Structure 1
Amino acid sequence: MRFLLRRLAGLAVVLVVASFLVYGLLYLVPGGPMAFLLGNRSGTPEQIAAIREQYRLDDPFLVRYLAWLGDAVQGDFGSSLVYRQDVSALLTARGTTTALLVGYATAVIVVVGVAAGTVAGLRPGRADAVISTLSSASLAVPTFVIGVLLVIVFALGLGWFPVFGPGEGFLGRLHHLTLPAITLSLGSAAFLARITRASVREELGREHVETARSRGLAERHVIRRHVLRNASIPVVTVTGLTVAGLLAGSVVVENVFALDGLGSLFVRAILQRDFAVVQAVVLVLVTAFVLVNLVVDLCCKALDPRLSR
């Protein structure tokens, strides 16, 4: 419990600092927030007054920040100047697509990366050489190139998957998100496979593994209890960081496959100078990142209780 409370307190501090930076950095643009909000447009005095009232620009900075933070904690991120609706509604409508995409990609990364890395670590030789070659090739190809190739081969050529759009219904969404999820996860799965392979190889050479074998324990038992369990700690850590990085990587994939998710919304908000949407999306992504780190810490603690000391 003390371990969990320490982690929660640390994450709370991180979120407060991040929210302050998210809110404050946009006020440092040349010309101030009004120049950012208006862009190249020349608003009428009534429009300027409405914007100043909406963003509390006449109040001191700390008062504006605390008021914005209080509203954000309650799920109120203000109204979008471009879409003319609540930012919370925009995030809810598009967050489902991004969550499904990241979740699908995470499953692919964990299954493919851990399985391939374990096989390469336990079976040196041809299997290790093939997996190492494929992982190196996957890491060398940029994400957008992988997406374009998958569209050409599996969507346009074979017609197995749709080209654009998130789909409807759960199964329909999974069908539409298969190519984007593979595109998003391929490089990360290759990286995780290399980490898993190195971790398994390192554990195979440790003294306690040789001791377990000398006691006559079955090889399956030695691998499961003494190799894979200890090798899983760095694998879990890297998996958590990789999943957190998928939130940023989804921006490219959503634009390639025309998915209306948080990534594409964020890009459009920056180009259209939609102040409230930019702040909200960044804060949501930071919150997701720190929550993933919390889950990783708890998993590592469960695998090795000594980490809580």
Structure 2
Amino acid sequence: MHRYRFVLYRPLQLVPVLFGISVITFVLVRLIPGDPARILLGARATPSAIANIRAQYGLDEPLWVQYFYFIRNLFEGEMGRSTLYKIDVLRLIATRIEPTLALVVTGVLLALAISVPFAAISARRQGSLADHAIRAISTAGIGFPSFWLGAMLIMLFSVRLGWLPVSGYGQTPGEKLTHLILPGLTIALSLSAILTRSLRAGMIQGLQSDVATAARARGMSENVVFWRHVVPNAMVPTVNLLAVNIGWLIGGTVVVESVFAVTGLGQLMVRGIFTRDYMVVQGVALTFAVATVLINFLADIITVSLDPRIEL
């Protein structure tokens, strides 16, 4: 169990990281051009009405005072009040987190479902036509932007074939699952291009390892050697790669949710930026940052559990 000692002290190391993220998020949000009070009240806003709104939300205070209020609210379990939605930001985020979480999970599962068999075929048939085709597709897939992939999938499966809905999230579990297929596939196609290359390299190395050679010497079939010994070892660097790309994955949901009109945190952030809703933008950005840090922490635990030789 000494391999898991990092679980005790690693959260303490995350505290300064989260503090730095909160400072950067707070400052960057304040650099967005425009006055939230003026945007909220419209073109006919009077100076006195603007001053009242700014005072109500603390926007007339110095930046360091506003940051102090922000940190104090965080310790009290709040993230301020939205100037647009007129409700607590934390409660607003709680109502939007389900679509984003479901989209990320769907994207990761579909990416694994695509990348594992493709990498297995490519690794076991090195130099074949299938290997070259998979490598070419995975290389090309890295360069396809999410908004373009989403638009192409909508045109094919929604407009032309009529199999899946164009946008939205749905109400019932069945509708939600149906609405998540296209946006999840959009994320998965971009992510699987990266994972396939990593898995293929790990599987090829595993096939040539001493562990695989010893397993063959014990009379195990090639399929047993591959799926029992090669694939689990190849998953270790893939888990780390997935954790490294989790920030890109979460950031990609902002674009995908906008393309497919999924009412999640990404769409909430985009609307908050356009309306200069500082509290919403910094609340969502901080939520994304915390999620990224926690997922990387979870990836470390999974990595140690998969490979007993690793100590963190």
Q: Please, which of 50, 68, 73 is the counterpart of residue 71 of structure 1?
A: 73
1:264 is aligned to: 267
- Evaluate the alpha carbon distance shift between residue 152 and residue 28 of structure 1 in structure 2; reply closer, same or farther with a 3 A threshold: closer
Length-normalised TM-score, structure 2: 0.87
2:291 is aligned to: 288
Any conservation in 1 of the 2:111–2:188 contact (CA below 8 Å)? yes
1:37 is aligned to: 36
2:227 & 2:32 partners in 1: Cα distance? 55
2:84 is aligned to: 82
Length-normalised TM-score, structure 1: 0.88
1:279 is aligned to: 282
2:115 is aligned to: 113
1:144 aligns with 2:143: no
1:112 & 1:227 partners in 2: Cα distance? 18
- Evaluate the alpha carbon distance shift between residue 208 and residue 177 of structure 1 in structure 2; reply closer, same or farther with a 3 A threshold: closer
One-letter identity of the residue aligned with 1:200: M
Please give the secondary structure, in 2, of the residue aligned with 1:305.
coil
1:74 & 1:198 partners in 2: Cα distance? 48
- Evaluate the alpha carbon distance shift between residue 304 and residue 105 of structure 1 in structure 2; reply closer, same or farther with a 3 A threshold: same
Contiguous gaps of at least 5 residues in structure 2: none
Q: Deviations over 1:254-283 (max 9, x none)?
A: 111122221111111111111111110100
One-letter identity of the residue aligned with 2:282: Q
2:118 & 2:192 partners in 1: Cα distance? 9
CA RMSD, aligned part only?
2.4
Contiguous gaps of at least 5 residues in structure 1: none
Measure how far apart 1:49 and its partner are: 3.9
Length, aligned pairs only: 304
1:239 aligns with 2:242: yes
Q: Please, which of 91, 100, 106 is the counterpart of residue 98 of structure 1?
A: 100
Comparing 266-275 with 51-60, greater Cα deviation is found at 51-60
1:92 & 1:161 partners in 2: Cα distance? 27
Any conservation in 1 of the 2:32–2:276 contact (CA below 8 Å)? no
2:195 is aligned to: 192
- Evaluate the alpha carbon distance shift between residue 69 and residue 235 of structure 1 in structure 2; reply closer, same or farther with a 3 A threshold: same
Any conservation in 2 of the 1:78–1:86 contact (CA below 8 Å)? yes
Query: Superposition pairs for residues 48-63 of structure 1, below 5 Å?
Result: 48-55=51-58, 57-58=60-61, 61=64, 63=65
Q: Please, which of 216, 222, 225 is the counterpart of residue 222 of structure 1?
A: 225
One-letter identity of the residue aligned with 1:37: P
- Evaluate the alpha carbon distance shift between residue 66 and residue 58 of structure 1 in structure 2; reply closer, same or farther with a 3 A threshold: closer
Q: Please, which of 13, 17, 22 is the counterpart of residue 14 of structure 1?
A: 17
2:157 & 2:9 partners in 1: Cα distance? 48
1:75 & 1:164 partners in 2: Cα distance? 33
2:174 & 2:76 partners in 1: Cα distance? 32
Measure how far apart 1:249 and its partner are: 0.4
Query: Superposition pairs for residues 125-164 of structure 1, below 5 Å?
Result: 125-164=128-167
Any conservation in 2 of the 1:106–1:243 contact (CA below 8 Å)? no
One-letter identity of the residue aligned with 2:89: V
Measure how far apart 1:70 and its partner are: 3.2
